[in-house]
């Protein structure tokens, strides 16, 4: 019995000292898709919130999927600086920072484009959040159109 209790104490000492990782980074936007006229720009307001105390360095990965005549950018509202590719931004920890994402067309051709926005803490790259934003220019956003029938069950 003495050996079993000693084993439990040893296990508690080993596992009690393992550091835990807090995945507290948040990234959100509502809605995540929009439709508008041709030659228009879709504007999405995204909220990113770091964790910890003081300031947080957040790496923004910005991946675009759009027609060649379109453009995309994101702007950090508190600084007014806009970016067209990956960037590290500073946010106040535990406070929301607004990122405005612009996605749109210069031509009069109906089309669809989307961006993948990933935010991850520089101090802990495993703490990350991903968001997809889609814009339909000159066309309606499609509806899912799902029909579910469970009558035979």
Phi, psi of 10 (to 5 degrees): -65, -45
- Indicate yes or no: pTM above 0.85: no
User: How high is the pLDDT of residue 73?
Assistant: 96
- Which carries the bigger pLDDT value, residue 84 or residue 149? 84
Look at strands 41-49 and 26-29 and give their pairing: antiparallel
Q: Is 2 exposed, middle or buried (0-12, 13-18, 19+ CB in 10 A)?
A: exposed
**8 A C-beta contact, residue 132 and residue 116:** yes
How confident is the model over 27-67, as pLDDT tens digits? 888 888 888 888 888 999 999 987 767 888 999 999 999 99
Token pair of 118 as six digits: 């990933």
Mean pLDDT of all residues in the chain?
Answer: 81
CA distance 153 to 138: 42
């Amino acid at each position: 019995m003495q050996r079993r209790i000693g084993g439990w104490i040893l296990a508690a000492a080993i596992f009690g000292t393992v550091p835990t990782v807090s995945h507290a980074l948040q990234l959100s936007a509502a809605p995540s898709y929009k439709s508008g006229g041709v030659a228009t720009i879709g504007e999405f307001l995204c909220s990113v919130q770091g964790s910890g105390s003081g300031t947080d360095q957040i790496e923004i990965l910005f991946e675009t999927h759009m027609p060649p005549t379109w453009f995309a950018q994101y702007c950090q509202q508190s600084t007014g600086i806009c970016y067209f590719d990956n960037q590290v931004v500073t946010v106040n920890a535990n406070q929301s920072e607004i990122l405005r994402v612009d996605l749109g067309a210069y031509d009069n051709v109906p089309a669809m484009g989307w961006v993948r926005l990933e935010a991850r803490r520089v101090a802990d790259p495993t703490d990350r959040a991903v968001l997809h934003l889609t814009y339909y220019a000159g066309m309606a956003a499609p509806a899912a159109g799902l029909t579910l029938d469970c009558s035979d069950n």
